[in-house]
Amino acid sequence: MQMLEQFRGKGLKGVFHSFTGTIDQAREIIEFGGFYIGINGIVTFKNSGLDAVVEQIDAQYLLLETDAPYLTPTPFRGKRNESEHLTLIAAKLATIFNINFNQITRITTENAYKLFKKLI
């Protein structure tokens, strides 16, 4: 974040890819503004601890990521990751936030549209 400080308030946008940080780091990213937190298969790993961090973040700041061909979600961990596995990440987030699958996919899809609207 220190490297980005010079761009604060200048409309910089992006995603913190493959986020595995702390809740304090997530809050700093959110407070900076314009950035989303990328969540991939790591959130499904039993001992990652990422689920405990993610549950403290408002879903409006999250994006789904594959990081294909790596970081395949459980139960396919160790195999090649594919875009179809985004559903497993979304299902895990739905469980974490205690909302249904359609709600989390709507929220994260809207987030992607907001970030990448000039590309769509």
Do 80 and 62 meet the contact criterion of CB atoms below 8 Å apart? no
Query: What kind and span of H or E run contains 38?
Result: strand 35-39
Q: What are the pLDDT digits (tens) for 95-120?
A: 999 999 999 999 999 999 999 987 65
Domains parsed from the chain with CATH numbers: 13-116 (3.20.20.140)
Q: Which DSSP letter does residue 45 get?
A: S
Q: Is the pLDDT of residue 89 over 90?
A: yes
Q: Which two tokens stand for residue 67?
A: 């990081």
pLDDT at 7: 73
pLDDT at 119: 66
Q: Is the pLDDT of residue 27 over 80?
A: yes
- Please spell the DSSP secondary structure of 62-84, one letter per residue: EEE---TTSSPPTTSTTSPP-GG
